[in-house]
Amino acid sequence: MSPSIIQQSFAKLYGIPSWHVRQGYGSFLTFEFGTPRQEIEPVINRDPNREGSRPTRMVVIRGDWHLWIYCCGWRITQDGSVLATFESSRESIAAACGALDGQALSEFTFEPERGESIFRFDLGGKLTTAPYDDDLLEQWMLYCPDSNILTYRSDGAFSHGRGDTKHGDEEFSKIDATS
């Protein structure tokens, strides 16, 4: 994979305001970009062995682009001041997400030798990600409108491929950020 795939993917996001920036499970963060669309998951049937169980269906609103900050250390700053980190309280993280909500991505850079990435926003916001331990983990995934997923791992390697690829079957490549 060439660095141009990475830069091309993010260049398509430049100038598009983020929305529904939220903390998910643990310290996971999600960002939506672009036109909202409704995603309807298949019905999960009730468990006949569990009293009160009923069929359920998940409905979510996602953007054309969905950025999922996953297993990593991260820091959100605004105009140079730290608003929250992955270890902050849920209240601080919610406030930091609120500060990034509506800001448009203006620049993306990465430092593969350190496993870091930096997302800069037009109104002074910045999200920095880095490994938080020695485990080899996906730090973030960018779900693209063409059904491809760009994934960045803690060792500075990237994967780019179809979203229907089985987890663990992705091909990761180290990329030189300067080429």
Chain segment 96-133, per-residue pLDDT in tens:
999 999 999 999 999 988 999 999 999 999 999 999 88
User: Quick check: helix, strand or coil at residue 9?
Assistant: helix
Could you state, in order of their start, the residue ranges of all structural domains in the chain?
Answer: 3-174
- Predicted local confidence at residue 176, as pLDDT: 67
Instruction: Tell me: pLDDT of 33 over 90.
Output: yes
Is it the case that residue 161 has pLDDT exceeding 60?
yes
Give the helix, strand, coil percentages of the chain, each rounded to 5: 10, 45, 45
The token duo for 47 is 């468990």
Mean pLDDT lowest for which of 11-15, 107-111, 138-142, 163-167? Answer: 163-167
